[in-house]
Every structure is written in C-alpha cells, then in structure tokens.
Amino acid sequence: MNVRAATPQDAAGIVALHKGTNPYKDWYRDPSQRLGRVPYEDLTPFERWMHGGSWMDLSLFRRHFHECQVRGFPVFVAEEEGRVVGECEVWVDEEPEPFGRYAEVEIVEAGSRPDVEHELVQRAARKVRKMGYPAVDISPQHSGGETAAKELGFEPLWDTRAFTAETAKVENPDIEFQTRFLAGGFRDLESLLALNHREPARLRYEVVTARWPSAEFAGVRDATKLVEMSVQARGLRFAVVAVRRDWLDPGAAELDLWMEAKDVKKEDRVRRAASIGTEVSRRLGAKRVTAYAPPAAADALNGVGFSGGDTPDPWLRWTF
C-alpha cells in the first residue's frame, strides 16, 4: 500500500471510492425518502450531492479538491495496484478555546479496510506535526476513522448533543433583544464559540449556508432557507445560524448557536440564547427545531422546552 499526497488525477478514483459507500445503497431523486430510484448517470450534480456531499460527483469533487489545495488543506490517498482504496482530508484552522489552533482529519474513507484507515490517519498526523501542530483531531461520527482513533489513543475534547423541540412549545424570550444580519459572514462569528462542534466551525458555516464552493456550484442554496443573525440582549452577545434544508425535512430547522466562550457554561445565558434562537428560527416556518450544544447546556435547553441530548457525539484529540 502506498499512502501519498493526492493529486487532481486522483479525483475519479476518490469519487468512485465514495460512491461505493453510498449510505442509501442505491440512487434516488430524493434519497432522504428513497423516492424516484434512477440510474446514477441520470442524476443532477445536486441530486448526487444529496447522497453524501461533494464526493458523490466528479465535477463537484474537483471543485472541492481545488478549494482544499488553495487553502492549504492536506489531502491524501492510499493506493494499491494503481487503485485508490482510501482517502483522507485534513482541515486546519483556529477557534476559541478549547479548540485553539488545530488540524482535524475532516474525512477519512477506507471502505471496510481498518488497515487503510489507520495508515491514512497516521500519515495525516505526521503531516500536521511537520506543519507545527502539537495534536491532530477527529470527529468520528462525521469524519469516519473511529477504529483508528481508538487504536491511536485519541481523547475526548468536546461533545456535541442534539436537542429537539416543537417550535410552538419553546418558551418565548423573557427579555427584549436586537438583531442584525451577519454582514461579514464568518468574520462576524470567528471570535465566538460554536456550540455545535461536530465538524470545524468554519466548514459547518460554509456548507450549511452553501458558501462552500462545491455546495454553491451544486445549487444547494436554492433548496436552503436560511437566517443568520447577530443578537444583542442585556449584555448577552451571540449569533444564530438557522437553516431549513428542504430536501431533508421541510418541517424541520437546524439551530446553531455561537456564543462568547465565557457564557457557554452560564445556564441563564444559554437558556436565553436558545429561546431567542428558536424565535429567530420561527421565521423559517419550521414546526420542529434541532439545536446542538454540549452536555453542560442540557439544563438550559430543557428549561425552554427542548428534549434529548442523550447521544454522545465526541470531538477527539491525539496529542503527540
């Protein structure tokens, strides 16, 4: 097995690898409902994207890979007998503590080959160490790589839980608040801590708002209803990014809260942020909302009408 830096010539092999792990097992016009089974060749780039993102279409992946190269994000492939059998992509960024300056294995795909997965993660770790990072992170439920993470001794750094509610039953805000649209996009958010940290905060923002180039190219924005606002209320400053993605469930919205790090463990502040965030989300016309936050926020979210938060979704770190 040869593990090396990927080149543009590997794009077709990488897409073939990901297509082989299509979570829907077949190809549909609407994969979330498994409706409209059709040959892969008859799908539009957006319909392919719905099956698993940029990796499901060659034109989208080429745009995705170009963006990774431009931003200096390492991409690796594992090759056997001239065939791509694994792929790994690393995201490098800096966020408020506890994340700091970090490098994360954002995707590792090796089919059912734990040996390939292990070699790719090891290769990524060596690369980011040479780049001056003291550790490498992984979010196994979203990136893959759970087996390698266990073998290599990754430790929990953050845990994101999913909380759900009927929007009509969420407590109304108990204070007045002011909002403004995020004129600067992610620049307005980068000093805040993302309570939803299942993936890098900047990547989450760019994909969910369809600003990530391959998502934009696929036409994701046309099927996305979005509200992104900065909120001020009695010394409380936070941001809301709420999205309704019609191809998944038109009646449901996802709510991301971005807060000052000092406020994340303050129940009253998280409670108000969740209440105001849901009020902002109602503008999307959703009947249900899912909010993401660490376990420490459970009492605050439960207090305004959310439930759930029982399933761990860890972000792990391996310090060299």
Q: Which tens digit of pLDDT belongs to each residue from 100-146?
A: 999 999 999 999 899 999 999 999 999 999 999 999 999 999 999 99
Q: What is the mean pLDDT of residues 218-244?
A: 94
User: 173: which DSSP letter?
Assistant: P
pLDDT recorded at residue 247: 85
Average pLDDT over residues 206-223: 95
In this model, does residue 234 exceed pLDDT 90?
Answer: no
Residue spans per domain, the chain: 2-153, 161-312
pTM above 0.85, yes or no: yes
Task: Please compute, for residue 170, the number of CA atoms within 13 A of its CA located in the half-sphere on the CB side.
Answer: 29
Q: Residues 222-242: what's their mean pLDDT?
A: 94
User: Does residue 183 register a pLDDT over 90?
Assistant: no
User: What's the pLDDT band for 164 if we cut at 50, 70, 90?
Assistant: very high
At 94, is the pLDDT very low, low, confident or very high (cuts 50, 70, 90)? very high
pLDDT exceeds cutoff 90 at 277: yes
Judge if 2-153 and 161-312 fold alike in CATH terms. Answer: yes
Tell me the fold of 161-312. Answer: Aminopeptidase (3.40.630)
The pLDDT tens digits for 60-91 are 999 999 999 999 999 999 999 999 999 999 99
> For all residues of the chain together, what is the average pLDDT?
96
- The DSSP output letter for 235 is T
Q: Which of 160, 170, 165, 168 is nearest to 275 (CA)?
A: 170
Of the candidates 226, 200, 223, 221, the residue with the CA atom closest to the CA atom of residue 211: 221
Sort strands 224-233 and 193-194 into parallel, antiparallel or unpaired.
Answer: unpaired
Provide the H-helix boundaries in the chain.
11-19, 45-49, 58-71, 114-130, 140-143, 146-152, 201-208, 213-218, 267-281, 298-304
Is the model's pLDDT at 181 over the cut of 90? yes
Q: Tell me, what's the pLDDT at 246?
A: 84
Q: What is the pLDDT of residue 137?
A: 98
Assign domain 2-153 one CATH number from 3.10.105.10, 3.40.50.720, 3.40.630.30, 3.40.50.300. 3.40.630.30
Q: Give the pLDDT confidence score for residue 41 in this predicted structure.
A: 97
What local confidence, expressed as pLDDT, does residue 231 receive? 96
Q: Radius of gyration over alpha carbons of the chain, in Å?
A: 20
